[in-house]
Structure 1
Amino acid sequence: MNARSRWIDLDGAVNVRDLGGLPTADGRTTRRGRVLRSDNLQDLSVADARLLLDDYELKNIIDLRSDAEVRLEGPGPLTRTPSITVHNLSLFSEGGRHTDVAADTPDDAVDIDKVLPWQNQPDAETDGDRSIGHYLGYLRDRGDSIVAALRVMTRPDGASLVHCAAGKDRTGVVCALALEVAGVTREAIVADYAQTGERIEAVLGRLRSSDTYAADLDSRPADSHMPHAAIMEKFMARIDEEAGGVLGWLATHGWTQEDTDALRARLLD
């Protein structure tokens, strides 16, 4: 890991970093090696797997992709590692054989606009901003998956890694909520979300190599996929306004003070 940037350089994934080293409002910092975030893990090399197992003691993978994405992409190499538990926690409202789309969608179709929301108007002030709408949809449709993901992060048996396809939208939302619970400053939460922009070209290059995502990505400019800080700022502000903050929202989905204490104990120095 690059100590200055928190990036973890792997052969088979390009958007991997440690959630450690972030400042909290009370002057503490998040612990390194406890929670990692990443893009898709399908292409990890043997050396990548060894690094995650040996250097980070990786034990739990939180996979936020839909059932259809998992089927289409196939099992990643870490799913065959006995010491690792994979938690499939889709953030889409899935029904039957479909993912997050209408009933007349062909089997195994993936709605790319929900998998990778397009930020064409990063400075828009309207509640209709597409990315914020998708992010709020994760909360509306899959509060159960979000609570389960945060609870996995409290486990004491080694590191947890949360990922989706790009490691940007779904992963960004779950990580932002976890960091908010831990007391990380809002500025640092937004900066961590936006940091994916440093590697967006490499992220898109990986996704274009997959038939699951390539066709739609080819028609869109790279800048339309950028994780602009304003998106996360407005998303978190909506939670503050509508639910009394992240803890208020979590409480309506079964999250307890014991859960908060456990996550903070795990993530904070």
Structure 2
Amino acid sequence: MDGGTRWIELDGAVNARDLGGLPTADGRTTRRGRVLRSDNLQDLSVADVRVLLDDYALKNVIDLRSEAEVRLEGPGPLTRIPSVTVHQLSLFPEAGSRTDVAAGADAGTDADAGADVDRALPWRDERPAGHYLGYLTDRGDSIVAALRVMTRTDGSSLVHCAAGKDRTGVVCALALDVAGVTREAIVADYAQTGERMEAVLRRLRASDTYAADLDSRPAGAYVPHAALMEKLLARVDEEFGGTLGWLAGHGWTPEDTEALRDRFLAP
């Protein structure tokens, strides 16, 4: 674990970092080695797995991809580690075991042949914060479950999707907001993925699951703009009275909040 950076250097993932070291509004910081975030974990090397197990005591993986993405990409190496539990918590409405609802309705192709990559990789400069709010509308259950996994005390948790940007960015932002991290730091963490975007795109273009969607759009459409996360958090404030207000409407309790803060925050 490199104390000078939050990036986690891995052979098989390029957007992995630690959510520790972020400032809170009351002058505290988030703890290192408690919650990690990343892009897809399918290509982790044996050495990568050892880093996550030995340096970060990884115990729980929060996989935000759809059932279709998981099926098309195949099982990753962490699914073969008995001490690691993988929690598949899609942020899309799932329909049975084949694909997302929207994929079957919009793609116009065999549902078994393609993941809903247009929703999985929703990168357009003109995209409104409403797309991210769709995650909250469609799968509040998955978001609450993901945050509860982060409260577990048996080791670190790692949350990821395909790029580690949109779905992962929203879930991590909400968790950090509950922990009391400053809005500036939350937005900066979201935007930090931009430093690795070129490498993320290279990885995803090597996968048949995502390549066609990526190639259909201009290169400049993929940058994570800070203003988008700012707008999302402002909308949550306006419409739900903040992250805790939204979570409370989905079964989140004060005990959950205390557990998440205890897990995230340094004394």
Q: What range is the shorter-chain TM-score in? A: over 0.9
Match of 1:140 in 2: 137
The residue matched to 1:101 in structure 2 has which SS?
helix
**Which stretch has the larger CA shift, 249-258 or 1-10?**
1-10
- TM norm structure 1: 0.94
Q: How many residue pairs end up in the alignment? A: 261
Name structure 1 gaps, 5 residues minimum. 122-128
After superposition, the C-alpha distances for 1:146-201 in whole angstroms (9 at most, x for unaligned) are: 00000000000000000000000000000000000000000000000000000000
Asked if 1:201 corresponds to 2:202, the answer is no
Correspondences of 1:172-251 after superposition (within 5 Å) = 172-251=169-248
Q: Secondary structure at the match of 2:147?
A: helix
Are positions 1:107 and 2:122 aligned together? no
Q: In percent, how many aligned pairs have the same letter? A: 77
Q: CA deviation at 1:112?
A: 2.2
Aligned residue for 1:29? 29
Is contact 1:112-1:213 (8 Å) kept? yes
1:200 and 1:222 in contact (8 A); partners too? no
Normalising by structure 2, we get a TM-score of 0.95
Does 1:117 pair with 2:114? no
Structure-to-structure mapping, 1:157-172, within 5 angstroms: 157-172=154-169
**Letter of the aligned partner of 2:54 in structure 1?**
D
Q: Give the CA RMSD over aligned residues.
A: 1.1
Q: Distance in 2 between matches of 1:191 and 1:119?
A: 19
- Say which is worse superposed, 138-147 or 215-224, in terms of deviation: 215-224
Task: Report the residue type matching 1:253 in the other structure.
Answer: H
1:117 shift after superposition: 1.3
Q: Which residue of 1 aligns with 2:54?
A: 54
Q: Which amino acid aligns with 1:107?
A: A
2:84 maps to 84
Q: Secondary structure at the match of 2:122?
A: coil
Q: Alpha carbons of 1:11 and 1:230: their partners in 2 closer, same or farther (altered >3 Å)?
A: same
Deviation at 1:100, TM superposition (A): 4.0
Q: Assess, with a 3 A threshold, how the Cα gap between structure 1 residues 139 and 53 changes in structure 2: closer, same or farther.
A: same
Q: CA contact under 8 A between 1:23 and 1:188: conserved in structure 2?
A: yes
Match of 1:5 in 2: 5
Q: Does the 8 Å CA contact 2:66/2:90 hold for their aligned counterparts?
A: yes
Q: Work out whether residues 59 and 85 of structure 1, in 8 Å CA contact, stay in contact via their aligned partners in 2.
A: yes
Q: Is the partner of 2:250 in helix, strand or coil?
A: coil
Give the unaligned 5+ runs of structure 2.
none
Please list the CA deviations of residues 84-137 of structure 1 after superposition, one character each: whole Å capped at 9, or x if unmatched.
00000000011122214154442133222311112323xxxxxxx34x222111
Q: Secondary structure at the match of 1:23?
A: coil
CA distance in 2, matches of 1:53, 1:4: 20
2:64 aligned partner, one-letter code: L
Inter-partner Cα distance in structure 2 for 1:5 and 1:51: 15
Q: Is 1:265 the equivalent of 2:262?
A: yes
